[in-house]
Structure 1
C-alpha cells in the first residue's frame, strides 16, 4: 500500500510549496482535483488540456520530488438540472480526457444527483415514504442517472480510461454499497468505488464490512476519518446540516486520522482492504476544521505508516528463498 494525498488537503500552498511539503511528509503519490467542487488549487484543466509542454512540465515537477500521480479528481454534480450540470459535465469530460493524455488510469468522482421531474435542484431520496419518493427515485435512475453513466463509460473507454472511482457520499445518487453495485450492474465494471470510510461512518454503516462486500469493485481509497459525537447524536441523530465550522455542536465531524478511530481500527480497515484484493493508494483527504492542514497531514501520515500493509516484496523474497520441492 502507498501513502498519498489529494492535494486539496494542502490547498493553501502553491504548487511548488505543496510538492516540497509532500516530499518532506514522505508521501509517495498525489491526487489532483481539476475543478467542479474543488477550486483546483494545483492544476489548470484548460491549460493542461491545451498544452503538451504544460503536461510534460507538470509530470516532471511531480517526479522531481520523488512523487507520482495516483489519480485525477473531478467530484461534482454533472446531473444538476440546467446550466450548472452542463458546466460540471464539461469539467468531468475534460478531466477524463486529461487523465488519458497524462497516462493516468483512473479518475475519482461522484455519481451526481438529478432532480425529480421539473425540479430546479437535486433531490436526494433516502426514504420510501411519502409515496412520491419512489416515483422520483425511479425517474432519477431510469431517465437520468443510468443513461448519463452509460454514455460517460463509453466516452471514458474510448479514451482508454477504465476506472471511474465513485465516492459513496451523501446527497448523491450513489452513496452506499447497494447503490454503487446497482449502478455498476447497469453500466459495467468501468464504474467502481473510491472507498472513503468517513462517509459511511456518519451514515452508521461499517466500512470494514462494506469493504468485504465490495471486494474487487474497490478501485481507490480515500483515507479520512469521522468522529461521531455521542451527546449531539443521542439528542438529534446523525442527520445534521449544521455547517462544519460549528464542530462543537454537530453530531459528527470529519477529523484527522486517529482522532475518530484509533490505530487498531485502521489496522482492521487495511487488513480488510488487503483481504479484498486492494493493495494500492491510501490517499489522505484532510478536512478537519479543528486542526491545521500541515499538522493534520503529519499525524495522518504517521498513523498510516504504522498500519498500512506492505507485504508484496517480502512475500516475493520469501518465496524466492524457500527450498524448492524436487
Structure 2
C-alpha cells in the first residue's frame, strides 16, 4: 500500500510548499480538492481545463517531487435544491473532464442530499422510518433526485474511463453500506466507495465489518479517524455543535491512532489487504487539536508502521 494526502490538510500553504512538505514526509500520492466543500486551495480547475500549458506545468511540479495523483475530489452537494446544486453538478462533470485530461483514474465525491420534496428549500437527511411521511420523502429523494443525477453521471464517467469513489458520509443519501449498494445496483460498478472509517465510527459502525461487506467495491481509502468522547455517554453520537472548539463535543475527528488505537489501524490495513485493496490510503486531516503538520505526520507514522507490520505478517 501507498500513503498519500488530501492536500486540503495543508491548505494554508501555497502549492509548491505543500508539495514540498508532502515529499518531505515521505508520502507518494496527493488528492486535490477542486471545489464544493473544499476551498480548492491548490488547484484552479477552470485554468487547468482551459490550458494545456497549465496542465503540463502542474504535472511537472508533481513529477519533480516524485508524486502522483491518487484522485481528484469534488465533494459537494449536486442535489441541493438551491443554487448550490447546479454549481456542484457542473463541478462534478468538470472534474470528470479534468481527470480524463490528466490521466487520473478516480474521482472522490459524495452522493449528495436533496430536499425532502419538490417545494422544500433545504436538503433533508432521512434517518428514521417515523414519522410515517419520512419513508415517502426518502423514496421521493431517490426516484426524483438521486437516480436522475447518478445514472447519466455514471455513464459519463464510464465513457471517460474514470471510476467514481463515493464517500459514505452523514447527511448524504449514501451514508452507509446499505445505501451505497442501493446506488451501485441502480447505476453499475463504475461507482465504488471512498472508504473513510471516521464517518462510520461517529455513526456507531465498525470499520472491519464494513470493509468485509464492501469488498472489492472499495476503490479509494481515506486515512481519517474519529474519537468518541465522554460527552457521548450523556448525549449520544448525534452532535450538531461546530467542530471547533473540540471540547464539549460527543465526538471529534482526530489524527490516526488518537481515536482508533494503532493496533486497530493495523487491523484496518490487514482487512483492506484481505479484500484485495493494495492501493493508496489518502490522509485527510481534520484534527483541530494540533497543528496540521503534527497531525499529518502522526497519521503518516501510524500508517507507515501498520503497512510495514501487515506486510511482515503476510510473508
Q: TM-score, normalised by structure 2?
A: 0.97
Q: Secondary structure at the match of 1:308?
A: helix
**1:253-290 CA distances to partner (integer Å, 9 max, x unpaired)?**
00011111121000000010000111100000010111
Deviation at 1:63, TM superposition (A): 1.1
Structure index of larger Rg? 1
Deviation at 1:311, TM superposition (A): 7.8
- Which sections of structure 2, spanning at least 5 residues, go unmatched? none
Runs of 4+ in 1 over 4 A off after TM superposition: 309-315
Q: Structure 2 matches for 1:1-326, cutoff 5 A?
A: 1-117=1-117, 118-161=119-162, 163-230=163-230, 232-308=231-307
- Which sections of structure 1, spanning at least 5 residues, go unmatched? 319-326
**1:96-118 CA distances to partner (integer Å, 9 max, x unpaired)?**
11001000000000000110221
Q: Which moved more, 1:150-159 or 1:34-43?
A: 150-159
In structure 2, C-alpha distance between the alignment counterparts of 1:247 and 1:314, rounded to whole Å: 37
In structure 2, C-alpha distance between the alignment counterparts of 1:309 and 1:85, rounded to whole Å: 43
In structure 2, C-alpha distance between the alignment counterparts of 1:175 and 1:151, rounded to whole Å: 21
In structure 1, C-alpha distance between the alignment counterparts of 2:220 and 2:167, rounded to whole Å: 9
Deviation at 1:29, TM superposition (A): 0.3
Q: Which moved more, 1:305-314 or 1:16-25?
A: 305-314
Deviation at 1:309, TM superposition (A): 5.2
Contact 1:256 1:291 in 2 (8 A): no
Relative distance call for 1:314 and 1:176 in structure 2 (3 A) is closer
Q: Secondary structure at the match of 1:245?
A: coil
In structure 2, C-alpha distance between the alignment counterparts of 1:295 and 1:185, rounded to whole Å: 41
**1:31-71 CA distances to partner (integer Å, 9 max, x unpaired)?**
01111110100100000000011111101101101111111
RMSD: 1.5
Q: Which moved more, 1:304-313 or 1:243-252?
A: 304-313
How many pairs were matched up? 314
Relative distance call for 1:72 and 1:310 in structure 2 (3 A) is farther
Q: Secondary structure at the match of 1:152?
A: helix
Relative distance call for 1:311 and 1:128 in structure 2 (3 A) is closer
Q: TM-score, normalised by structure 1?
A: 0.94
